[in-house]
């Protein structure tokens, strides 16, 4: 077995200017392992997690190390200023646990938070940029909760790599430089402008060593004092000050909001699919329920007899996705505040009724939501915008335990505000800007203490005997759901290995336009799909799938070539 970490270290030393190319090249060399494995969106973050596993740490320990380094090297996507969902597989007990680290709305918000004085909603970026969009970050509290219940190595030791990289710096990758260069809002915020940009306003170049001593100090404080340092100490004060002192768009976050945040352990949402058990995260994310609905709606379609990437396969998957998204828009939200009929949406009777609407070779998009719990007439659909700035990683440790974790600051560089050396989220814009329409309420309206709906879809697939089969997930905004289900179908229906399933061209239908991935073979199906009745758009679909599968030959990993991630294992 090739030690993929040694390959990684040799390759990464060639040149910091070619991180993305090196990372992609590693996929083939690192896609199998016998003991433990990690697939993550950045080489330095993956290496940090790998080192923890090599020292005898478990999947939760490694997840903490990965998230901390991602805070530094992938600030556009995730960090301790954002939120996350984590699925954990306990190999000894053969059971799945789920942890909710989604952000919470401050106590002072009202349902009119994103409405102008004339009652019209703010434009998206009017709401996003600045303190108004910042929710109480939950990722760190969630990781500490999981570590107290599951961790093996000391909490403090898991910060070593993140502290060293923050102090010594890391090389700006081509992807980070591209995003810095493209973003027109980040440079308007002083802390971010000083850190990411030259004095003339241009983005720091690829290969520039970016040091973050303030973040190193933040990590040292949290390592010594636990998550409490973020939620009650000087770091909390910095967060609140950044949110409230943002002149253009100040927020209402307080120290009390920070102190009162609670990470939650929730029941997983699971359903059978072709003899396997697919488990996801329940509300407040829509990802688990919607992904499972799509799979269940397709279960009788015999996809294994239809070619992957064919127009017929795209048609069937699109119809199931559109049906599920119709329900998602009406029902899915924070179940601590509203009634979400999860069981009814996944009941065999309802699935059978909805799947009967699928007709091969034609489309009936857009669909209206079904009414499995007799409450549709009391609700208004939500069309909250979710943009693709998120990260996902999958981990299997030497004892067979696994983590599938999706983590986000929402938009690229979140609110564009920084505090303590890290980016603050803009997750409040995942709520519906309109709380109601014509007097009918939206389930995903903003309320004090509520968690915004998400599409993050960390997923674990179990075999019939409850042993682990797969850990998978992706970034991508509301398209996450389609990216993840396509990959699961690729493995379970079409018999592909993990990397090949991840590499499959993307096609997404969210109950409207059918998106086909640009510069792939399926773009040639545009005419055929339009003949079926679809409105088709060819576009870049930038996922970040990272997955691991347990096979008889060992662990089999995959990293999305659309980003700069790697698979490391031994």
* Residues catalogued as catalytic: 390
Determine how many CB atoms are found less than 10 A away from the CB of residue 386: 23
Ordered alpha helix ranges (H), 277-423: 287-298, 311-331, 342-345, 348-355
438: left (phi over 0), alpha (psi -120 to 50) or beta: left
Closest C-alpha to 140, from 83, 69, 62: 83
Q: Are 16 and 42 in contact (CB under 8 A)?
A: no
Closest C-alpha to 405, from 83, 58, 52: 83
Residue 284 to residues 93, 291, 302, 332, 339, Cα–Cα distance (Å): 26, 14, 31, 7, 11
Give the span between the Cα atoms of 6 and 12, in whole angstroms.
10
Ordered DSSP codes for 519-549: TSGGGGGHHHHHHHT--EEEE------EEEE
Dig out the tokens for 210 from the structure. 């970016």
Give the span between the Cα atoms of 97 and 410, in whole angstroms.
24
Give the span between the Cα atoms of 118 and 136, in whole angstroms.
28
Closest C-alpha to 303, from 463, 162, 36, 494: 494
405: left (phi over 0), alpha (psi -120 to 50) or beta: beta
Determine how many CB atoms are found less than 10 A away from the CB of residue 51: 17
Q: What residues contact residue 353 under an 8 Å CB cut-off, 6+ apart?
A: 370
Output DSSP code: residue 121.
B
Q: Are 401 and 90 in contact (CB under 8 A)?
A: yes
User: In DSSP terms, which residues pair with 404 in a beta bridge?
Assistant: 87, 394
């Amino acid at each position: 077995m090739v030690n993929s970490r040694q390959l990684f270290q040799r390759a990464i030393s060639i040149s910091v200017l070619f991180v993305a190319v090196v990372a992609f090249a590693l996929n083939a060399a690192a896609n199998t392992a016998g003991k433990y494995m990690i697939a993550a969106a950045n080489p330095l973050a993956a290496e940090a997690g790998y080192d923890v596993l090599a020292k005898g740490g478990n999947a939760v320990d490694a997840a903490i190390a990965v998230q901390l380094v991602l805070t530094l090297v992938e600030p556009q996507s995730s960090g301790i200023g954002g939120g996350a969902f984590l699925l954990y597989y306990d190999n000894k007990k053969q059971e799945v646990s789920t942890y909710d680290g989604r952000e919470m709305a401050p106590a002072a918000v009202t349902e009119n938070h994103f409405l102008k004085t004339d009652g019209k909603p703010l434009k998206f970026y009017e709401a996003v940029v600045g303190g108004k969009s910042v929710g109480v970050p939950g990722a760190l509290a969630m990781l500490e909760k999981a570590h107290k219940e599951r961790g093996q190595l000391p909490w403090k030791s898991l910060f070593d790599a993140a502290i060293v990289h923050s102090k010594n710096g890391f090389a700006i990758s081509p992807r980070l430089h591209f995003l810095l260069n493209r973003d027109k809002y980040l440079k308007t915020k002083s802390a971010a402008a000083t850190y990411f940009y030259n004095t003339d306003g241009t983005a720091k170049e690829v290969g520039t060593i970016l040091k973050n001593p303030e973040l190193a100090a933040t990590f040292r404080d949290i390592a010594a004092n636990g998550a409490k340092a973020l939620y009650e100490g000087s770091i909390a004060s910095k967060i609140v000050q950044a949110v409230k002192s943002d002149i253009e768009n100040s927020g209402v976050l307080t120290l009390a909001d920070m102190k009162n945040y609670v990470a939650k352990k929730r029941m997983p949402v699971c359903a059978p699919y072709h003899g396997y058990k697919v488990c996801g995260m329940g509300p407040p994310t829509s990802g688990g329920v919607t992904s499972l609905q799509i799979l269940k709606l397709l279960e009788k379609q015999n996809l294994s007899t239809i070619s992957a990437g064919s127009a017929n396969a795209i048609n069937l998957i699109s119809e199931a996705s559109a049906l599920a998204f119709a329900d998602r828009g009406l029902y899915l939200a924070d179940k601590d505040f509203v009634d979400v009929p999860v069981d009814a949406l996944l009941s065999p009777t309802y699935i059978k009724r909805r799947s009967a609407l699928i007709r091969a070779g034609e489309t009936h998009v857009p669909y209206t939501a079904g009414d499995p719990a007799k409450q549709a007439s009391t609700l208004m659909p939500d069309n909250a915008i979710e943009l693709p700035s998120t990260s996902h990683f999958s981990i299997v440790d030497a004892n067979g335990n696994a983590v599938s974790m999706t983590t986000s600051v929402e938009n690229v560089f979140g609110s564009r505000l920084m505090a303590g050396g890290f980016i603050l989220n803009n997750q409040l814009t995942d709520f519906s800007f309109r709380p109601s329409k014509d007097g009918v309420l939206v389930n995903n309206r903003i309320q004090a203490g509520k968690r915004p709906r998400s599409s993050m879809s960390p997923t674990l697939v179990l075999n019939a005997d409850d042993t682990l089969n797969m850990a998978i997930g992706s970034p991508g905004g509301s398209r996450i759901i389609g990216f993840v289900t396509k990959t699961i179908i690729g493995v379970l229906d079409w018999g592909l290995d993990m990397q090949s399933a991840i590499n499959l061209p993307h096609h997404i239908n969210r109950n409207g336009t059918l998106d086909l991935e640009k510069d792939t073979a399926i773009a040639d199906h545009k005419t055929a799909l339009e003949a079926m009745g679809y409105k088709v758009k060819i576009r870049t679909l930038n996922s970040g799938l990272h997955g691991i599968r347990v096979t008889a030959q060992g662990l089999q990993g995959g990293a999305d070539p659309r980003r700069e991630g790697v698979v490391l294992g031994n």
